[in-house]
């Protein structure tokens, strides 16, 4: 029997992690501004970019 590949499992785990990070109530947490840019804006794009970077890291890793 084939087992799900570790890469796919890691990606799915990232997706599950993303759900609480990108919904209420967490996204309403950051307040104020950062370098003149609203913290909520920075938070959303920051978390999003972080997820993408991690996904790229997991997906493009060779071998194993």
Partner 1 sequence: MLAGWFVALLSAAYLALLFAVARFGDARADGGRSIISANVYALSLAVYCTSWTFFGSVGRATSGGLSFLTIYLGPTLMLLCVTVIVKMIRISKAYRITSIADFIASRYGKSQLLAGMVTVIAVIGVVPYIALQLKAVAASLDVLFEQSGHAVFFWGLDSTFLIALVLALFTILFGTRHLDATERHEGMVAAVAFESVVKLVAFMAVGLFVTYGMFGGLSDLFGKAMASPELGRLLQHDQARAGTWTSLIVLSGLAIILLPRQFQIIVVENVDESHLKRAVWMFPLYLLLINIFVLPLAIGGLLHFSGQGVNPDTFVLTLPLARGAEALALLAFIGGLSAATGMVIVETIALSTMVCNDLAMPLLLRSRWLQAARRQDLSGLLIGIRRAAIVLILLLGYIYFRAAGEAYALVGIGLISFSAVAQFAPVLFGGMYWKQATHAGATAGLLAGFAVWLYTLLLPSFAKSGWIGSGFVEQGLFGIEWLRAQALFGLSGMDEISHCLWWSMLANIACYVVVSLNSTPDAMEASQAERFVDILRHGRRDADARLWRGKTSLGAVVELLERFLGANRAHQQLAIYAAGRGYADWQTLPADAEFVHFAETELAGAIGSASARVMVSSVVQEEDLGLEEVLDILDEATQVRAYSRELEAKQRELEAATAELRAANERLRELDRMKDDFISTVTHELRTPLTSIRALSEMLHEDPRTELTDRKRFLGIIVNEAERLTRLINQILDMAKLESGRAEWTTGDVDIGEVVRESMDSLGQLFREKGVLLAGDFPEHGPVVQADRDRLMQVMINLLSNAVKFVPGDGGRVRVDVGCQGGLVRVVVSDNGPGLTAEECSVIFEKFRQGGNTLTDKPKGTGLGLPISRQIVEYFGGNLWAESRPGEGACFIFTVPLPAPEK
Question: Is residue 51 within the footprint of partner 1 (CB under 8 A)?
Answer: yes
Question: Is residue 15 within the footprint of partner 1 (CB under 8 A)?
Answer: yes
Question: Is residue 50 within the footprint of partner 1 (CB under 8 A)?
Answer: no
The residue among 17, 25, 24, 10 whose CA lies nearest residue 47 is: 17
Residues lying near partner 1 in the complex (CB under 8 A): 1-2, 4, 7-9, 11-12, 14-15, 18-19, 22-25, 27-28, 33, 35-38, 40-41, 44-45, 48-49, 51-53, 55-56, 59-60
């Amino acid at each position: 029997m084939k087992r799900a590949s570790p890469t796919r499992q890691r990606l799915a785990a990232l997706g599950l992690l993303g759900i609480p990070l990108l919904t209420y109530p967490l996204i309403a947490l950051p307040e104020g501004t950062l370098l003149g840019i609203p913290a909520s804006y920075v938070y959303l794009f920051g978390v999003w970019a972080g997820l993408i970077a991690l996904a790229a890291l997991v997906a493009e890793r060779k071998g194993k």
